[in-house]
Structure 1
Protein backbone atom coordinates (compact mmCIF):
# COMPACT_ATOMS: atom_id res chain seq x y z
CA UNK A 1 0.00 0.00 0.00
CA UNK A 2 2.87 2.33 0.89
CA UNK A 3 4.47 1.59 -2.47
CA UNK A 4 1.27 2.50 -4.29
CA UNK A 5 0.97 5.76 -2.39
CA UNK A 6 4.59 6.55 -3.11
CA UNK A 7 4.13 5.84 -6.81
CA UNK A 8 1.10 8.13 -6.91
CA UNK A 9 3.08 10.88 -5.18
CA UNK A 10 5.92 10.51 -7.66
CA UNK A 11 3.47 10.54 -10.56
CA UNK A 12 1.75 13.67 -9.25
CA UNK A 13 5.09 15.41 -8.75
CA UNK A 14 6.18 14.51 -12.26
CA UNK A 15 2.92 15.34 -14.02
CA UNK A 16 1.40 18.04 -11.79
CA UNK A 17 1.76 20.79 -14.41
CA UNK A 18 -0.09 19.07 -17.31
CA UNK A 19 -2.60 17.66 -14.82
CA UNK A 20 -3.32 21.12 -13.47
CA UNK A 21 -3.79 22.42 -17.01
CA UNK A 22 -6.24 19.64 -17.81
CA UNK A 23 -8.22 20.34 -14.62
CA UNK A 24 -8.39 24.07 -15.37
CA UNK A 25 -9.47 23.40 -18.96
CA UNK A 26 -12.18 20.98 -17.85
CA UNK A 27 -13.43 23.42 -15.19
CA UNK A 28 -13.51 26.25 -17.72
CA UNK A 29 -15.35 24.11 -20.29
CA UNK A 30 -17.95 23.04 -17.72
CA UNK A 31 -18.43 26.62 -16.51
CA UNK A 32 -18.83 27.95 -20.06
CA UNK A 33 -21.29 25.19 -20.89
CA UNK A 34 -23.39 26.05 -17.82
CA UNK A 35 -23.29 29.77 -18.69
CA UNK A 36 -24.19 29.15 -22.34
CA UNK A 37 -27.06 26.86 -21.40
CA UNK A 38 -28.31 29.48 -18.96
CA UNK A 39 -28.04 32.21 -21.58
CA UNK A 40 -30.05 30.16 -24.05
CA UNK A 41 -32.93 29.82 -21.61
CA UNK A 42 -35.52 32.54 -21.05
CA UNK A 43 -38.75 32.83 -19.11
CA UNK A 44 -41.76 34.70 -20.50
CA UNK A 45 -42.33 37.74 -18.26
CA UNK A 46 -45.63 39.07 -19.61
CA UNK A 47 -48.69 37.20 -20.97
CA UNK A 48 -50.18 36.95 -24.45
CA UNK A 49 -47.05 37.21 -26.58
CA UNK A 50 -47.63 36.00 -30.12
CA UNK A 51 -45.53 33.11 -31.37
CA UNK A 52 -45.08 33.39 -35.13
CA UNK A 53 -44.03 31.01 -37.89
CA UNK A 54 -41.43 33.45 -39.19
CA UNK A 55 -39.73 36.48 -37.61
CA UNK A 56 -41.40 39.85 -38.11
CA UNK A 57 -44.93 41.15 -37.69
CA UNK A 58 -45.95 39.63 -41.02
CA UNK A 59 -45.13 36.11 -39.80
CA UNK A 60 -48.21 33.90 -39.46
CA UNK A 61 -49.37 33.54 -35.84
CA UNK A 62 -48.92 30.02 -34.42
CA UNK A 63 -49.85 30.35 -30.77
CA UNK A 64 -49.80 32.62 -27.72
CA UNK A 65 -47.12 32.33 -25.06
CA UNK A 66 -48.13 32.31 -21.41
CA UNK A 67 -46.43 34.20 -18.60
CA UNK A 68 -43.97 31.94 -16.81
CA UNK A 69 -43.28 29.65 -19.77
CA UNK A 70 -39.69 28.50 -20.05
CA UNK A 71 -38.24 28.71 -23.55
CA UNK A 72 -35.02 27.66 -25.17
CA UNK A 73 -33.53 30.23 -27.56
CA UNK A 74 -32.50 28.60 -30.83
CA UNK A 75 -31.34 31.70 -32.71
CA UNK A 76 -31.70 35.47 -32.85
CA UNK A 77 -32.44 37.51 -35.95
CA UNK A 78 -33.32 41.17 -36.42
CA UNK A 79 -34.43 41.57 -32.81
CA UNK A 80 -36.56 38.41 -32.91
CA UNK A 81 -35.90 35.11 -31.12
CA UNK A 82 -36.61 31.68 -32.49
CA UNK A 83 -37.59 29.62 -29.45
CA UNK A 84 -38.46 26.04 -28.52
CA UNK A 85 -41.24 25.31 -26.01
CA UNK A 86 -41.43 22.40 -23.58
CA UNK A 87 -43.56 20.46 -26.07
CA UNK A 88 -40.70 20.82 -28.63
CA UNK A 89 -42.73 23.14 -30.89
CA UNK A 90 -40.84 26.17 -32.23
CA UNK A 91 -41.62 29.66 -33.44
CA UNK A 92 -40.51 33.29 -33.44
CA UNK A 93 -41.27 35.98 -30.87
CA UNK A 94 -40.21 39.63 -30.51
CA UNK A 95 -37.08 39.49 -28.34
CA UNK A 96 -37.66 42.86 -26.68
CA UNK A 97 -41.10 41.71 -25.47
CA UNK A 98 -39.64 38.51 -24.03
CA UNK A 99 -37.31 40.66 -21.92
CA UNK A 100 -40.02 43.12 -20.91
CA UNK A 101 -41.19 42.88 -17.31
CA UNK A 102 -43.75 45.72 -17.26
CA UNK A 103 -47.18 44.39 -18.31
CA UNK A 104 -48.90 45.68 -21.44
CA UNK A 105 -52.60 46.46 -21.52
CA UNK A 106 -52.71 44.68 -24.84
CA UNK A 107 -50.14 43.13 -27.15
CA UNK A 108 -50.73 44.56 -30.63
CA UNK A 109 -48.89 44.62 -33.98
CA UNK A 110 -47.37 47.92 -32.81
CA UNK A 111 -45.90 46.10 -29.78
CA UNK A 112 -44.00 43.83 -32.16
CA UNK A 113 -42.80 46.63 -34.47
CA UNK A 114 -39.35 48.18 -34.75
CA UNK A 115 -39.67 51.92 -35.34
CA UNK A 116 -36.94 54.43 -36.18
CA UNK A 117 -37.52 58.03 -35.09
CA UNK A 118 -35.45 60.74 -36.73
CA UNK A 119 -35.31 64.14 -34.96
CA UNK A 120 -34.44 66.38 -37.90
CA UNK A 121 -31.16 68.32 -37.99
CA UNK A 122 -28.80 68.52 -34.99
CA UNK A 123 -25.34 69.78 -34.11
CA UNK A 124 -24.06 72.34 -36.59
CA UNK A 125 -27.18 71.74 -38.72
CA UNK A 126 -29.62 73.91 -36.76
CA UNK A 127 -32.52 73.70 -39.21
CA UNK A 128 -35.05 76.51 -39.54
CA UNK A 129 -35.09 79.58 -37.30
CA UNK A 130 -38.03 80.98 -35.40
CA UNK A 131 -38.89 84.65 -35.38
CA UNK A 132 -36.78 85.05 -32.23
CA UNK A 133 -33.94 82.90 -33.66
CA UNK A 134 -34.64 79.62 -31.87
CA UNK A 135 -33.36 76.49 -33.62
CA UNK A 136 -35.57 73.86 -35.21
CA UNK A 137 -33.17 71.10 -34.10
CA UNK A 138 -34.08 71.75 -30.44
CA UNK A 139 -37.78 71.10 -30.90
CA UNK A 140 -37.49 68.13 -33.24
CA UNK A 141 -35.46 66.34 -30.57
CA UNK A 142 -37.93 67.28 -27.84
CA UNK A 143 -40.82 65.97 -29.91
CA UNK A 144 -39.09 62.74 -30.94
CA UNK A 145 -38.27 61.95 -27.30
CA UNK A 146 -41.92 62.44 -26.35
CA UNK A 147 -43.01 60.14 -29.17
CA UNK A 148 -40.47 57.54 -28.04
CA UNK A 149 -41.90 57.68 -24.52
CA UNK A 150 -45.44 57.11 -25.79
CA UNK A 151 -44.35 54.27 -28.07
CA UNK A 152 -42.56 52.60 -25.16
CA UNK A 153 -45.94 52.23 -23.47
CA UNK A 154 -47.12 50.11 -26.40
CA UNK A 155 -44.12 47.78 -26.18
CA UNK A 156 -42.68 48.85 -29.53
CA UNK A 157 -38.94 48.67 -30.14
CA UNK A 158 -37.81 52.27 -30.77
CA UNK A 159 -34.49 53.39 -32.26
CA UNK A 160 -33.47 57.06 -32.52
CA UNK A 161 -31.17 58.39 -35.23
CA UNK A 162 -29.94 60.82 -32.55
CA UNK A 163 -30.72 61.27 -28.86
CA UNK A 164 -28.51 64.30 -28.29
CA UNK A 165 -27.63 67.53 -30.06
CA UNK A 166 -25.35 66.04 -32.67
CA UNK A 167 -25.35 66.04 -36.44
CA UNK A 168 -26.31 62.87 -38.31
CA UNK A 169 -25.46 63.20 -41.99
CA UNK A 170 -28.43 62.80 -44.31
CA UNK A 171 -27.04 59.87 -46.27
CA UNK A 172 -26.67 57.84 -43.06
CA UNK A 173 -30.19 58.41 -41.75
CA UNK A 174 -32.07 55.95 -44.02
CA UNK A 175 -29.42 53.33 -43.28
CA UNK A 176 -30.39 53.40 -39.60
CA UNK A 177 -33.78 51.99 -40.56
CA UNK A 178 -32.33 49.45 -42.96
CA UNK A 179 -29.51 48.30 -40.68
CA UNK A 180 -31.97 47.73 -37.83
CA UNK A 181 -34.54 46.09 -40.12
CA UNK A 182 -37.16 48.60 -39.01
CA UNK A 183 -40.83 48.21 -39.82
CA UNK A 184 -41.47 51.98 -39.92
CA UNK A 185 -39.52 55.25 -40.13
CA UNK A 186 -40.65 58.73 -39.05
CA UNK A 187 -38.69 61.95 -39.47
CA UNK A 188 -39.71 64.99 -37.39
CA UNK A 189 -39.35 68.53 -38.68
CA UNK A 190 -40.86 72.00 -38.44
CA UNK A 191 -41.46 74.01 -41.58
CA UNK A 192 -40.39 77.49 -42.65
CA UNK A 193 -41.84 79.93 -45.18
CA UNK A 194 -39.96 82.53 -47.29
CA UNK A 195 -41.62 85.31 -45.27
CA UNK A 196 -42.42 85.46 -41.56
CA UNK A 197 -46.02 84.66 -40.61
CA UNK A 198 -46.73 83.77 -44.25
CA UNK A 199 -47.75 80.13 -43.76
CA UNK A 200 -49.25 77.99 -41.03
CA UNK A 201 -50.27 74.38 -40.39
CA UNK A 202 -48.84 70.86 -40.38
CA UNK A 203 -48.24 68.46 -43.27
CA UNK A 204 -47.44 64.74 -43.51
CA UNK A 205 -45.11 63.80 -46.37
CA UNK A 206 -44.41 60.51 -48.15
CA UNK A 207 -42.20 59.68 -51.12
CA UNK A 208 -42.86 56.06 -52.07
CA UNK A 209 -46.46 55.21 -52.80
CA UNK A 210 -46.22 51.44 -53.22
CA UNK A 211 -44.14 50.35 -50.21
CA UNK A 212 -46.65 51.40 -47.57
CA UNK A 213 -45.37 54.94 -47.07
CA UNK A 214 -48.46 56.60 -48.56
CA UNK A 215 -50.86 54.57 -46.40
CA UNK A 216 -48.67 55.20 -43.37
CA UNK A 217 -48.83 58.95 -44.05
CA UNK A 218 -52.62 58.83 -44.38
CA UNK A 219 -53.09 56.97 -41.12
CA UNK A 220 -50.76 59.17 -39.11
CA UNK A 221 -52.17 62.37 -40.58
CA UNK A 222 -55.74 61.25 -39.83
CA UNK A 223 -54.83 60.67 -36.18
CA UNK A 224 -53.58 64.25 -35.74
CA UNK A 225 -56.19 66.32 -33.94
CA UNK A 226 -54.11 69.46 -33.49
CA UNK A 227 -54.94 73.16 -33.02
CA UNK A 228 -53.10 74.05 -36.24
CA UNK A 229 -54.48 73.68 -39.77
CA UNK A 230 -54.13 70.16 -41.16
CA UNK A 231 -52.66 70.63 -44.65
CA UNK A 232 -53.04 66.91 -45.33
CA UNK A 233 -50.81 64.34 -46.98
CA UNK A 234 -48.41 65.42 -49.71
CA UNK A 235 -45.61 63.98 -51.83
CA UNK A 236 -42.24 65.16 -50.56
CA UNK A 237 -38.88 64.67 -52.25
CA UNK A 238 -36.79 64.46 -49.08
CA UNK A 239 -33.69 62.25 -49.01
CA UNK A 240 -34.48 60.63 -45.66
CA UNK A 241 -37.72 59.19 -47.02
CA UNK A 242 -36.72 58.94 -50.69
CA UNK A 243 -33.72 56.71 -49.95
CA UNK A 244 -35.62 54.64 -47.41
CA UNK A 245 -36.73 51.12 -48.34
CA UNK A 246 -39.08 50.76 -45.33
CA UNK A 247 -42.42 52.62 -45.04
CA UNK A 248 -41.22 56.15 -44.25
CA UNK A 249 -42.84 59.52 -43.66
CA UNK A 250 -41.75 63.03 -42.71
CA UNK A 251 -43.86 65.21 -40.41
CA UNK A 252 -43.73 69.01 -40.62
CA UNK A 253 -45.65 69.90 -37.45
CA UNK A 254 -45.91 73.67 -37.80
CA UNK A 255 -43.96 76.68 -39.09
CA UNK A 256 -40.97 77.90 -37.11
CA UNK A 257 -41.24 81.43 -38.52
CA UNK A 258 -44.94 81.83 -37.83
CA UNK A 259 -45.59 83.47 -34.45
CA UNK A 260 -48.75 81.47 -33.75
CA UNK A 261 -47.29 78.16 -34.90
CA UNK A 262 -44.08 78.61 -32.93
CA UNK A 263 -46.06 79.26 -29.77
CA UNK A 264 -47.46 75.76 -30.19
CA UNK A 265 -44.20 74.19 -31.36
CA UNK A 266 -42.38 75.12 -28.15
CA UNK A 267 -45.35 74.12 -26.00
CA UNK A 268 -45.06 70.81 -24.13
CA UNK A 269 -48.85 70.48 -24.35
CA UNK A 270 -48.76 70.66 -28.15
CA UNK A 271 -45.84 68.25 -28.37
CA UNK A 272 -47.73 65.82 -26.15
CA UNK A 273 -50.72 65.98 -28.49
CA UNK A 274 -48.52 65.02 -31.42
CA UNK A 275 -46.75 62.35 -29.38
CA UNK A 276 -50.02 60.69 -28.35
CA UNK A 277 -51.45 60.86 -31.87
CA UNK A 278 -48.48 59.17 -33.57
CA UNK A 279 -48.94 55.72 -31.93
CA UNK A 280 -52.63 55.80 -32.85
CA UNK A 281 -51.78 56.39 -36.50
CA UNK A 282 -49.07 53.73 -36.48
CA UNK A 283 -51.36 51.21 -34.82
CA UNK A 284 -54.12 51.84 -37.37
CA UNK A 285 -51.65 51.42 -40.23
CA UNK A 286 -50.16 48.18 -38.87
CA UNK A 287 -53.58 46.73 -38.09
CA UNK A 288 -54.65 47.36 -41.70
CA UNK A 289 -51.43 45.75 -42.95
CA UNK A 290 -51.88 42.63 -40.83
CA UNK A 291 -55.55 42.26 -41.72
CA UNK A 292 -54.95 42.66 -45.45
CA UNK A 293 -51.78 40.56 -45.37
CA UNK A 294 -49.76 43.23 -47.17
Structure 2
Protein backbone atom coordinates (compact mmCIF):
# COMPACT_ATOMS: atom_id res chain seq x y z
CA UNK A 1 0.00 0.00 0.00
CA UNK A 2 1.37 3.43 -0.92
CA UNK A 3 1.00 6.33 1.46
CA UNK A 4 1.35 9.86 0.31
CA UNK A 5 3.99 11.76 2.20
CA UNK A 6 2.40 14.20 4.60
CA UNK A 7 3.66 17.77 4.15
CA UNK A 8 5.15 17.89 7.67
CA UNK A 9 7.56 20.61 6.77
CA UNK A 10 4.79 22.89 5.56
CA UNK A 11 2.64 22.15 8.60
CA UNK A 12 5.49 22.97 10.98
CA UNK A 13 6.24 26.23 9.19
CA UNK A 14 2.55 27.17 9.29
CA UNK A 15 2.35 26.41 13.02
CA UNK A 16 5.43 28.52 13.71
CA UNK A 17 3.96 31.43 11.75
CA UNK A 18 0.62 31.07 13.55
CA UNK A 19 2.27 30.99 16.98
CA UNK A 20 4.42 34.00 16.08
CA UNK A 21 1.37 35.92 14.91
CA UNK A 22 -0.57 35.10 18.08
CA UNK A 23 2.39 36.14 20.21
CA UNK A 24 2.68 39.43 18.32
CA UNK A 25 -1.03 40.16 18.77
CA UNK A 26 -0.83 39.29 22.47
CA UNK A 27 2.23 41.52 22.92
CA UNK A 28 0.51 44.45 21.22
CA UNK A 29 -2.58 44.02 23.38
CA UNK A 30 -0.54 43.93 26.58
CA UNK A 31 1.63 46.84 25.44
CA UNK A 32 -1.42 48.98 24.70
CA UNK A 33 -3.21 48.06 27.92
CA UNK A 34 -3.09 49.95 31.18
CA UNK A 35 -4.48 49.59 34.67
CA UNK A 36 -6.07 52.76 36.02
CA UNK A 37 -3.95 54.16 38.90
CA UNK A 38 -6.74 55.95 40.77
CA UNK A 39 -10.51 56.19 41.21
CA UNK A 40 -13.01 58.48 39.48
CA UNK A 41 -11.23 58.90 36.14
CA UNK A 42 -13.71 60.52 33.77
CA UNK A 43 -14.43 58.89 30.41
CA UNK A 44 -15.57 61.51 27.91
CA UNK A 45 -17.32 61.39 24.57
CA UNK A 46 -14.42 63.15 22.84
CA UNK A 47 -10.74 64.15 23.25
CA UNK A 48 -11.23 67.38 25.17
CA UNK A 49 -12.52 68.61 28.52
CA UNK A 50 -15.40 70.31 26.72
CA UNK A 51 -16.92 66.91 25.87
CA UNK A 52 -19.44 65.44 28.28
CA UNK A 53 -18.59 62.75 30.82
CA UNK A 54 -20.18 59.42 29.89
CA UNK A 55 -18.66 57.19 32.56
CA UNK A 56 -16.05 56.97 35.33
CA UNK A 57 -13.35 54.35 35.85
CA UNK A 58 -12.37 52.75 39.14
CA UNK A 59 -8.84 52.15 40.39
CA UNK A 60 -7.32 48.96 38.99
CA UNK A 61 -9.64 48.79 35.98
CA UNK A 62 -8.08 47.38 32.81
CA UNK A 63 -8.30 49.54 29.68
CA UNK A 64 -7.04 49.07 26.12
CA UNK A 65 -5.66 52.06 24.21
CA UNK A 66 -7.06 52.17 20.69
CA UNK A 67 -5.56 55.44 19.47
CA UNK A 68 -4.13 58.74 20.72
CA UNK A 69 -5.01 62.32 19.84
CA UNK A 70 -2.75 64.96 21.37
CA UNK A 71 -2.90 64.23 25.12
CA UNK A 72 -5.98 62.03 25.02
CA UNK A 73 -6.44 58.28 24.62
CA UNK A 74 -9.38 56.61 22.94
CA UNK A 75 -9.90 53.49 25.02
CA UNK A 76 -11.89 50.30 25.10
CA UNK A 77 -13.01 49.09 28.51
CA UNK A 78 -15.37 46.19 29.07
CA UNK A 79 -17.76 46.57 26.11
CA UNK A 80 -17.50 50.35 25.87
CA UNK A 81 -15.29 52.98 24.25
CA UNK A 82 -14.50 56.56 25.19
CA UNK A 83 -11.75 59.13 25.72
CA UNK A 84 -9.59 59.71 28.79
CA UNK A 85 -6.84 62.22 29.56
CA UNK A 86 -3.48 60.49 29.11
CA UNK A 87 -1.96 62.12 32.20
CA UNK A 88 -4.60 60.45 34.39
CA UNK A 89 -3.84 56.89 33.32
CA UNK A 90 -0.10 57.00 32.65
CA UNK A 91 1.81 55.83 35.69
CA UNK A 92 4.06 58.59 37.06
CA UNK A 93 7.78 57.99 36.91
CA UNK A 94 9.21 56.59 40.09
CA UNK A 95 11.89 58.62 41.75
CA UNK A 96 13.44 59.30 45.09
CA UNK A 97 11.26 60.90 47.73
CA UNK A 98 11.99 64.59 48.13
CA UNK A 99 12.71 65.52 51.74
CA UNK A 100 14.11 69.03 51.24
CA UNK A 101 12.43 72.13 49.91
CA UNK A 102 15.64 72.93 48.04
CA UNK A 103 15.25 69.70 46.05
CA UNK A 104 11.54 70.05 45.34
CA UNK A 105 9.66 70.97 42.19
CA UNK A 106 6.54 72.98 43.00
CA UNK A 107 3.88 73.96 40.47
CA UNK A 108 2.05 77.16 41.41
CA UNK A 109 -1.27 77.79 39.70
CA UNK A 110 -2.69 81.33 39.74
CA UNK A 111 -6.38 80.66 39.16
CA UNK A 112 -8.27 82.03 36.15
CA UNK A 113 -6.55 84.48 33.77
CA UNK A 114 -7.01 85.65 30.19
CA UNK A 115 -10.62 85.31 29.11
CA UNK A 116 -11.56 84.07 32.59
CA UNK A 117 -11.64 86.92 35.10
CA UNK A 118 -12.79 84.80 38.01
CA UNK A 119 -14.94 86.26 40.78
CA UNK A 120 -15.37 90.01 41.30
CA UNK A 121 -15.08 92.23 44.36
CA UNK A 122 -17.79 94.73 45.19
CA UNK A 123 -15.76 97.27 43.23
CA UNK A 124 -15.46 94.88 40.24
CA UNK A 125 -11.79 94.07 40.85
CA UNK A 126 -11.02 90.72 39.25
CA UNK A 127 -9.93 87.56 41.03
CA UNK A 128 -7.36 86.70 38.34
CA UNK A 129 -5.30 89.78 39.28
CA UNK A 130 -4.86 88.77 42.90
CA UNK A 131 -4.30 85.05 42.33
CA UNK A 132 -1.32 85.98 40.15
CA UNK A 133 0.01 88.43 42.73
CA UNK A 134 -0.24 85.80 45.45
CA UNK A 135 1.39 83.07 43.37
CA UNK A 136 4.29 85.36 42.48
CA UNK A 137 4.77 86.18 46.16
CA UNK A 138 4.95 82.45 46.98
CA UNK A 139 7.33 81.90 44.06
CA UNK A 140 9.64 84.57 45.48
CA UNK A 141 9.68 82.93 48.92
CA UNK A 142 10.29 79.43 47.55
CA UNK A 143 13.17 80.51 45.34
CA UNK A 144 15.00 81.71 48.44
CA UNK A 145 15.23 78.04 49.38
CA UNK A 146 16.41 77.04 45.91
CA UNK A 147 13.10 75.41 45.02
CA UNK A 148 12.37 74.67 41.37
CA UNK A 149 9.16 76.66 40.81
CA UNK A 150 6.95 76.24 37.75
CA UNK A 151 4.10 78.70 37.15
CA UNK A 152 1.05 77.65 35.13
CA UNK A 153 0.81 81.25 33.96
CA UNK A 154 3.09 84.25 34.41
CA UNK A 155 0.77 86.89 33.01
CA UNK A 156 -2.85 87.46 32.09
CA UNK A 157 -3.22 84.55 29.69
CA UNK A 158 -5.80 81.79 29.33
CA UNK A 159 -4.66 78.33 30.44
CA UNK A 160 -7.05 75.38 30.35
CA UNK A 161 -7.77 73.51 33.57
CA UNK A 162 -6.51 70.27 32.05
CA UNK A 163 -3.21 71.85 31.01
CA UNK A 164 -2.67 73.11 34.56
CA UNK A 165 -3.07 69.65 36.07
CA UNK A 166 -1.06 68.02 33.29
CA UNK A 167 1.86 70.38 33.92
CA UNK A 168 2.24 68.93 37.41
CA UNK A 169 2.18 65.35 36.16
CA UNK A 170 4.56 65.97 33.26
CA UNK A 171 7.12 67.65 35.53
CA UNK A 172 6.75 65.05 38.30
CA UNK A 173 5.95 67.90 40.68
CA UNK A 174 6.39 67.28 44.38
CA UNK A 175 3.43 69.58 45.07
CA UNK A 176 0.82 71.55 43.14
CA UNK A 177 -0.92 74.58 44.67
CA UNK A 178 -3.79 76.41 42.98
CA UNK A 179 -4.67 79.91 44.23
CA UNK A 180 -8.21 81.25 44.30
CA UNK A 181 -10.53 83.58 46.19
CA UNK A 182 -14.03 82.62 47.20
CA UNK A 183 -17.25 84.49 46.49
CA UNK A 184 -20.57 84.26 48.30
CA UNK A 185 -24.03 84.70 46.71
CA UNK A 186 -24.63 87.70 48.97
CA UNK A 187 -21.83 90.22 49.46
CA UNK A 188 -20.35 90.47 52.97
CA UNK A 189 -22.12 87.28 54.06
CA UNK A 190 -19.05 85.03 54.40
CA UNK A 191 -15.44 85.32 55.47
CA UNK A 192 -12.28 83.24 55.83
CA UNK A 193 -9.99 80.95 53.86
CA UNK A 194 -10.16 77.21 53.09
CA UNK A 195 -7.64 74.54 52.11
CA UNK A 196 -9.05 71.97 49.67
CA UNK A 197 -7.75 68.55 48.63
CA UNK A 198 -9.25 65.78 46.48
CA UNK A 199 -7.12 62.62 46.67
CA UNK A 200 -6.75 61.42 50.25
CA UNK A 201 -3.75 59.19 49.55
CA UNK A 202 -1.61 61.84 47.87
CA UNK A 203 -2.87 65.19 49.10
CA UNK A 204 -4.56 65.11 52.51
CA UNK A 205 -1.28 65.08 54.43
CA UNK A 206 -0.01 68.05 52.43
CA UNK A 207 -3.29 69.92 52.99
CA UNK A 208 -3.20 69.43 56.76
CA UNK A 209 0.46 70.41 57.04
CA UNK A 210 0.14 73.60 55.01
CA UNK A 211 -3.13 74.60 56.68
CA UNK A 212 -1.61 74.16 60.14
CA UNK A 213 0.82 76.98 59.37
CA UNK A 214 -2.02 79.47 58.77
CA UNK A 215 -2.17 80.26 62.47
CA UNK A 216 -1.71 84.02 62.56
CA UNK A 217 -3.56 85.28 59.49
CA UNK A 218 -6.15 88.02 60.10
CA UNK A 219 -8.98 85.99 58.53
CA UNK A 220 -10.86 82.95 59.85
CA UNK A 221 -9.31 79.58 59.07
CA UNK A 222 -12.18 77.44 57.75
CA UNK A 223 -9.97 74.35 57.83
CA UNK A 224 -9.19 71.51 55.45
CA UNK A 225 -12.01 70.25 53.24
CA UNK A 226 -12.59 67.86 50.35
CA UNK A 227 -13.07 69.77 47.10
CA UNK A 228 -14.16 68.41 43.72
CA UNK A 229 -12.14 70.84 41.59
CA UNK A 230 -10.72 69.66 38.27
CA UNK A 231 -7.17 70.95 38.79
CA UNK A 232 -6.77 68.84 41.93
CA UNK A 233 -9.11 66.00 40.93
CA UNK A 234 -7.44 65.32 37.58
CA UNK A 235 -4.01 65.53 39.15
CA UNK A 236 -1.83 62.59 40.18
CA UNK A 237 0.59 64.72 42.19
CA UNK A 238 0.08 66.02 45.77
CA UNK A 239 -2.29 68.91 45.06
CA UNK A 240 -4.09 71.67 46.95
CA UNK A 241 -6.53 74.41 46.05
CA UNK A 242 -6.48 77.41 48.37
CA UNK A 243 -9.40 79.83 48.66
CA UNK A 244 -7.63 82.58 50.60
CA UNK A 245 -10.60 84.81 51.43
CA UNK A 246 -13.95 86.02 50.07
CA UNK A 247 -13.32 88.58 47.37
CA UNK A 248 -16.83 90.08 47.63
CA UNK A 249 -16.56 90.60 51.40
CA UNK A 250 -15.06 94.02 52.17
CA UNK A 251 -13.20 92.79 55.26
CA UNK A 252 -11.57 89.95 53.33
CA UNK A 253 -10.84 91.97 50.22
CA UNK A 254 -8.97 94.59 52.22
CA UNK A 255 -6.56 91.77 53.14
CA UNK A 256 -6.54 90.04 49.74
CA UNK A 257 -5.30 93.16 47.96
CA UNK A 258 -2.70 94.07 50.59
CA UNK A 259 0.95 93.21 50.04
CA UNK A 260 1.33 92.48 53.74
CA UNK A 261 -1.34 89.77 53.70
CA UNK A 262 0.01 88.25 50.51
CA UNK A 263 3.49 88.04 52.02
CA UNK A 264 2.21 86.46 55.24
CA UNK A 265 0.34 83.84 53.22
CA UNK A 266 3.47 83.18 51.14
CA UNK A 267 5.65 82.78 54.22
CA UNK A 268 3.15 80.40 55.84
CA UNK A 269 2.83 78.27 52.69
CA UNK A 270 6.60 78.05 52.44
CA UNK A 271 6.84 77.00 56.09
CA UNK A 272 4.13 74.40 55.51
CA UNK A 273 5.88 72.95 52.48
CA UNK A 274 9.17 72.88 54.34
CA UNK A 275 7.59 70.94 57.21
CA UNK A 276 5.82 68.60 54.79
CA UNK A 277 9.01 67.57 53.00
CA UNK A 278 11.00 67.21 56.22
CA UNK A 279 8.45 64.74 57.54
CA UNK A 280 8.37 62.54 54.44
CA UNK A 281 10.08 59.18 54.86
CA UNK A 282 13.15 58.59 52.75
Q: Compute the TM-score of the two structures, normalised by the length of structure 1.
A: 0.63
1:165 aligned to which of 156, 163, 166: 156
Distance (whole Å) between structure 1 residues aligned to residue 193 and residue 270 of structure 2: 17
Aligned pairs for 1:18-97 within 5 A: 56-58=95-97
Distance (whole Å) between structure 2 residues aligned to residue 247 and residue 153 of structure 1: 22
What residue in structure 2 maps to residue 186 of structure 1?
Answer: 177
Aligned pairs for 1:133-144 within 5 A: 133-144=124-135
What residue in structure 1 maps to residue 119 of structure 2?
Answer: 128
Give aligned pairs, total: 189
The CA deviation string for residues 237-259 of structure 1, in whole angstroms up to 9 with x for no partner, is 00000000000000000000000
What residue in structure 1 maps to residue 221 of structure 2?
Answer: 230
Distance (whole Å) between structure 2 residues aligned to residue 242 and residue 217 of structure 1: 14
Consecutive aligned runs of 4 or more in structure 1 exceeding 2 Å deviation: none
Query: Is the partner of 2:242 in helix, strand or coil?
Result: strand
Gaps of 5+ in 2: 1-93
What residue in structure 2 maps to residue 268 of structure 1?
Answer: 259
1:56 to partner: Cα distance = 4.6
Distance (whole Å) between structure 1 residues aligned to residue 96 and residue 174 of structure 2: 8
Q: CA RMSD in A?
A: 1.5
2:205 aligned to which of 207, 215, 220: 215
What residue in structure 2 maps to residue 151 of structure 1?
Answer: 142
1:283 to partner: Cα distance = 1.0
Query: Is the partner of 1:264 in helix, strand or coil?
Result: helix
Aligned pairs for 1:229-248 within 5 A: 229-248=220-239
Query: Is the partner of 1:159 in helix, strand or coil?
Result: strand
What residue in structure 2 maps to residue 117 of structure 1?
Answer: 108
Distance (whole Å) between structure 2 residues aligned to residue 289 and residue 203 of structure 1: 24
Query: Is the partner of 2:190 in helix, strand or coil?
Result: coil
Distance (whole Å) between structure 1 residues aligned to residue 96 and residue 219 of structure 2: 34
Distance (whole Å) between structure 2 residues aligned to residue 147 and residue 244 of structure 1: 21
Query: Is the partner of 1:250 in helix, strand or coil?
Result: strand
What residue in structure 1 maps to residue 278 of structure 2?
Answer: 287
